[in-house]
Structure 1
Amino acid sequence: MKYLTCILLLLMLPACSLTIPGVASAPTPTPSVTLPASLPRPPRPPTPIPPQPTLAPTPTLAPLTLSERRRIFVQVWETVRDHYLYADYNGVDWQAVYDEVSAQVDASTDAEAFYRLMERMIERLDDDHSRYESPQEVAAQQAEFSGTLRYGGIGAEIRDVDEGGLISSVVPGGPADRAGIMPRDVIISVDGVDYEDSDAFGPGGPISQVRGEPGTPVRLGIRSPNQPPREVVVIREVIDLDAFNRVHARRLANSSLGLLSIPSFYVEGVDRQVRQAVEDLLQDGPLTGLIIDVRANGGGYVHLMRNTIALFHDGGIIGSTSGRSSSEEQRIPTGKQIPDLREVPIVVLVSEETISAAEMFAAGMQVLGRARIVGTPSAGNTENLYSYDFADGSRLLLAEVAFYLPDGTPVEGRGVQPDRRVDAEWWRYQPEDDPQIQAAIEELQRAE
């Protein structure tokens, strides 16, 4: 995917990094390298709950014969056996899994039950990255990547905090924005039910009640900073998920410093978006410093991450991705650097929600000497997924390699270490008051 941080399949799935596509039949063998039998794995980092689709993206699943089910099952199982990153399968007896699931495949009666069975089999690896996707889910991810997937909601990202649901961002011109809801507002109730009364909302929690069919209303209790609570009725609309992933940039007030936010590397042409955003900043005059915010970036495609680094540094090696039977140097392309940024100092902001390909971005900028890193250690979750597509349209995303710095230090399990650590719940602040941004400004001023 962590890729796609993850593939990084950004809004729909746990983060990761997609590296290269695979095939359903026997993958091409790669040269053997000496690697650790297994790598440490961090706990799943806390992340904001993303918007989920409420509109069916694909038709009903096509039926599968028993022979088709068995063929796909064997291909999936053998791919894990031969290529999974951890030689001990995270303590799972993979042969015993075959014996157990084989009988269940024979007993499955329809395509939906079979795909759920395959999903559960891969979930037993318990690495937070590897997953099996049905043809429906593959279609949804393709729609997300192309920016065509939409959902019914209010057009806001919401974080669960002690006070309720913190609005961390809103889609400009979306339903929440038009209703006067702003970042840093807190949802304290949904349709009259206290936001913190989780039992009243069922398994999906209160956020599931904020979503809904386009055209229907939702009544939200809102508390804005330093204001009394109020109720707001918002009419749900179809929301373009691409709006949450869009790169954006602006100049900090009364300064020649730029603030560039890259929410995901799982966006088609994200490197082109970054280039355009920086060039737009430069139209108002030279920059004396640039802050790149990847604190909420869950990852994405590794090649897009490399192309993005290339905008700020011309070439170089940032480390390698290595697994049981392969190792690849991560080289930055040449000839793509933005000329007016060559001498501009850069700070990259990271947090525990900086995952996979986003961690590789921050680590790469650090090891190349192109940027100082400010914030808190990143997630340490750099397993890269290889994609294996099957004849029925389903897909296995399998953790096969992890990221190592040029000196051999793994980022997996330890994260990217900031040059300047600043512990802060950064998402509670406006940019002008954000302690981590303030620290980044100080770092840039020292570099002048």
Structure 2
Amino acid sequence: MYLRLITFNIVLLICTYALADKQTSNQIYYKQFQEIFERINKDYVQDPDKQKMTDSAINGMLTSLDPHSGYYTDEDLDDFINQTKGEFGGIGVEVMYDNGAIKVISPIDDLPADKAGIKAGDYIVGVNDELVSTIGFNKAVKEMRGEPGTKVKLFVIKNDEVKPQDVELTREIVKIKPIKSHLEEGGIAYVRIVTFNEHTIQEMKKAFKSVEASNTADGGIKGIILDLRNNPGGLLDQAIAVSEYFIDSGTIVSTKGRTDTNNSVLTASKFTAKAPNVPIVVLINSGSASASEIVAGALQDYKRAIILGTKSFGKGSVQTFVQVSPRAAVKLTTARYYTPLGRSIQAEGIEPDIIIEPAKVEYPGQKNEERRFSESSLKNYLKNDNKDLKDNEQKKDKDKLKKDKDKPELKIEKAENYQPSELYKKDYQFARAYDLIRGLILSKNK
């Protein structure tokens, strides 16, 4: 009994000390910071810039947490706010800090970095003849910004090359158009989401209306290729709205943090306008991050689309942006997000349903039939006497199909009549997505 009482007292004493430590630990950290601040203020060789000290200390705390938390002041804050509105200056790259260098998450379409061939996964190790490891991440990023028309020199290590290279870029101010779209042959809508800014869902709906209107003679949109490659993400509410446009109802994404205020379940409403109910292929790659992964993950979990390409970036965290003063704001990682089936893609990415690596295909100037060696290539070959009969049978089948009201004629070009578009010729992943969509349309209408 005496031994049991001693044991209980020891446990109680340990718990008391643990509670006291927890209550006073924050005070200890504050005191350490205060002591160092006061010592610098008192003993430094000259009167220090206290605002600069404070800004650097706060920024250091945030960047030590993870690559996506940060502190924005003055010009940096203005640039950040302008970027979410779709207009900013600089070279046009989404970046993160990585071991003393700047890692490119994604170049943004038609901006200087993209034009210069800088790609996702490349590293910027120097800016204007200064190493990023020496001047720091924030200063290096700030150096890449500047007046339009002025030049900036980068020292870049390409993802697919060993030797570093100097790249000189001319800064621009560009208002980013979040959506690019056009109609491909066969009634297939190609819609590329460049970024998720405050105009994305509005511009995407306009794009679908425009594409559908241009193909009313052939029955509207028959398939959709949604291109999220090299999309670095952006605003969460826009990712939700885009997902909702393709999903009838149900969970789009859930978030979980340390506090209840950061736990949420975001859902799609069945009462909002929806995209045409046609086959969809979504293109992703290693430059698809954050908001674009939310869209791809939701469409994949609901089997609303086939995901094609390469594994996405894997940014499965949520940042909260809070302006703490007129000149400063904090971006803090407050939660992880999960797909409708509860998958966390943090550091893992979205795995495509069909993996297609980028490749280059050379297309000859002449048709395949003209260069293919076959029976018809031989001198004095016997011609096919069933050709006329075959044409007559096809005409009868087409007339019968027209009379069948419940089974309208499928107006999609035959493979041998298809003339590849320029995008098809130069973009291997798009070409495979287009072929897949054509197959889905044909099988759906059989």
Tell me how far apart the structure 2 counterparts of residues 391 and 435 of structure 1 sit (CA, whole Å): 49
- Say whether residues 1:274 and 2:204 are aligned partners: yes
Change (3 A) 1:118 1:183: closer
- The 5-angstrom pairing of residues 42-121 of structure 1 reads 98-106=30-38, 107=40, 109-121=49-61
- Residue 248 (structure 2) pairs with residue 314 (structure 1): yes
Q: Which residue of 1 aligns with 2:287?
A: 353
Give the C-alpha shift of residue 375 in structure 1.
Answer: 1.0
Structure 1 distance, partners of 2:299, 2:276, is 13
Cα RMSD of the aligned pairs, angstroms, is 4.1
CA gap 1:235/1:385 in 2 versus in 1, 3 angstroms:
closer
Offset of residue 141 of structure 1:
1.8
Query: What is the alpha-carbon distance in structure 2 between the residues aligned to residue 343 and residue 215 of structure 1?
Result: 46
Inter-partner Cα distance in structure 1 for 2:264 and 2:294: 14
Q: Verify the 8 A CA contact 1:289 1:444 in the aligned structure 2.
A: yes
Residue type matched to 1:270 in 2? T
SS in 1 for 2:335: strand
TM-score (normalizing by structure 1): 0.59
Shift of 1:277: 1.3
SS in 2 for 1:317: strand
State the AA in 1 paired with 2:82: A
Gaps of 5+ in 2: 1-21, 42-48, 96-105, 119-123, 134-139, 154-167, 361-421, 442-446
Question: Equivalences for 1:132-147 in 2 at 5 Å?
Answer: 132-147=71-86
1:439 offset after TM fit, Å?
2.1
Matching residue's letter, 2:268: I
Q: Is the 8 A contact 2:84 2:234 kept in 1?
A: no
Tell me, yes or no, if structure 1 residue 406 matches structure 2 residue 340. Answer: yes
Question: Is it true that 1:374 corresponds to 2:374 in the alignment?
Answer: no
Q: Are residues 102 and 435 of structure 1, via their aligned partners in 2, closer, same or farther at CA, if it must alter by over 3 Å?
A: farther
Shift of 1:359: 0.7
Identify which of 396, 401, 416 aligns with 2:330: 396
Match of 2:178 among 241, 246, 251: 246
Equivalence map 1:186-335=2 (5 Å) = 201-203=129-131, 213-214=147-148, 238-240=172-174, 242-243=175-176, 245-252=177-184, 254-265=185-196, 267-285=197-215, 286-326=220-260, 327-335=263-271
CA distance in 2, matches of 1:138, 1:199: 21
Aligned residue-pair number: 310
Deviation of 1:269 after TM superposition, in Å, equals 2.1
> 1:385, CA displacement in angstroms?
1.0
Structure with more contact order per residue of length (Cα contacts < 8 Å, sep ≥ 6): 1
| Structure 1 residue 349 displacement after superposition | 0.9
Structure 1 357/99 Cα, relative in aligned 2: closer, same or farther at 3 Å? Answer: farther
Is the 2:108–2:231 Cα contact (8 Å) retained in structure 1?
no
Instruction: Give 1:393 shift.
Output: 3.9
Q: Is the Cα contact below 8 Å between 1:311 and 1:337 reproduced in 2? A: yes
Matched residues in 1 for 2:195 and 2:32: separation? 38
| 1:372 shift after superposition | 0.9
User: Take 1:264 and 1:278, find their aligned partners in 2: how far apart are those partners?
Assistant: 17
More helix by share: 2
Residue 435 of structure 2 corresponds to 442
The answer (yes or no) to whether the contact 1:388–1:395 under 8 Å persists in 2 is yes
Q: Does the CA contact (< 8 Å) of 1:247 and 1:261 recur in 2?
A: yes
Alpha carbons of 1:168 and 1:299: their partners in 2 closer, same or farther (altered >3 Å)? closer
C-alpha distance 103-112 of structure 1, shift in aligned 2 (>3 A)? same
Q: 1:306 to 1:216 in 2, by over 3 A?
A: closer
Alignment gaps of 5+ in structure 1: 1-80, 83-92, 160-165, 177-181, 188-195, 220-233
With over 3 angstroms needed to count, the CA separation of the structure-2 counterparts of 1:118 and 1:370, relative to structure 1, is same
Q: CA deviation at 1:136?
A: 3.7
Secondary structure at the residue paired with 1:132? strand
Secondary structure at the counterpart of residue 131 of structure 2: coil
SS for the counterpart of 2:82 is helix
1:122 to 39, 47, 62: 62
Per the normalisation by structure 2, the TM-score is 0.59
Secondary structure at 1:311's aligned position in 2?
helix
C-alpha change, 1:202 and 1:282, in structure 2 (3 Å) is same
Q: 1:308 to 1:413 in 2, by over 3 A?
A: same
Structure 1 residues 300 and 408: CA distance shift in structure 2, 3 A: same
The structural deviation recorded for 1:130 is 1.3
Counterpart amino acid of 1:356?
S
Letter in 2 for 1:302: L
Q: Which has the larger radius of gyration?
A: 2
% identical equivalent positions: 21
For residues 255-287 of structure 1, what are the alpha-carbon distances to aligned partners after superposition, in whole Å with 9 as ceiling and x for unaligned? 32122111111x112100111111111121112
Q: Secondary structure at the match of 2:246?
A: coil
What is the Cα deviation at residue 310 of structure 1?
Answer: 2.0
